[in-house]
Amino acid sequence: MEFNNGTALITGASGGIGEEFAVQLAGRGANLVLVARRADKLAQLHDTLVGKHPDITVDVIAEDLAVPGSGAELENKVRDLGRTIDVLVNNAGVGLHSKFVDQAPEPNAAQIQLNCGTLVDLTARYLPAMTQRGRGVVINVASTASFQPTPGMAVYGATKAFVLSFTEALWQECRGTGVKVLALCPGATETEFFERTGEDFLTDGRQTARQVVGTALGALDRSGPTVVSGWKNSLLASGYRVTPRRLMLAVSERLLKSAN
């Protein structure tokens, strides 16, 4: 798929999968609007990308998308820059790793807002114009946690199941419009995600962000609504569909146990 001279808005772009989306899309000639909380990390990434690709435009916006109303603020800032968004990558997300009863209400509310609320809000703000133009891309980053409940990360798994369901429905609604919609479902990936949860788990078989993003961009040339990154992850995701629910819950809980 061609990205040259288009503009991609990437959330959670200061590291991990979001940063890798920026790197690979810049390599394909896309202009970028990079969004994350950490202004210093965004500035470093801006300088790196512009130095390597002087023909593209890279804008950075520091914004906490876990705050209600942040989607509207971000849209205003993008409008002030004069950018038309051709590609939306809803990558920003967070997870809490512990039993639900041990979690405070406020971080979970922020998790739901970021993983679901702002994702839907930004999609609502940019998808209609894409369909009117008859072209565009929306990539929503879900997870292999989308396919089954996740004891130990109960809210995170539920938010990612929401993202998967929402995105697959959009894929069907957008058929014939010229807009490509994709749910990307990575498994464990070498990013800062695990560090931020404060726990070490799913330590075996982690993919790199480069592998995950390469899978996503390659899937845009195919016709399905969802792509799971990595054959082992694909096999596991498929297996959950035929596994008895009680067994599935036990297996999922065991997989998410802390390695400490």
Per DSSP, 89 falls in state E
> Is 57 within 8 Å of 5 (Cβ atoms)?
no
> Is 236 within 8 Å of 207 (Cβ atoms)?
no
Nearest-CA neighbor of 96 among 218, 201, 220? 201
Nearest-CA neighbor of 39 among 18, 72, 73, 64? 64
Marked catalytic residue, from 21, 126, 147, 156? 156
Angstrom distance (rounded) from CA 174 to CA 15: 30
156 is catalytic: yes
The 3 state secondary structure assigned to 115-183 is HHHHHHHHHHHHHHHHHHHCCEEEEEECCHHHHCCCCCCHHHHHHHHHHHHHHHHHHHHCCCCCEEEEE
Angstrom distance (rounded) from CA 31 to CA 33: 7
Query: Which residues of 102-215 form beta strands (DSSP E)?
Result: 136-141, 179-185
Residue positions annotated with a catalytic role: 156
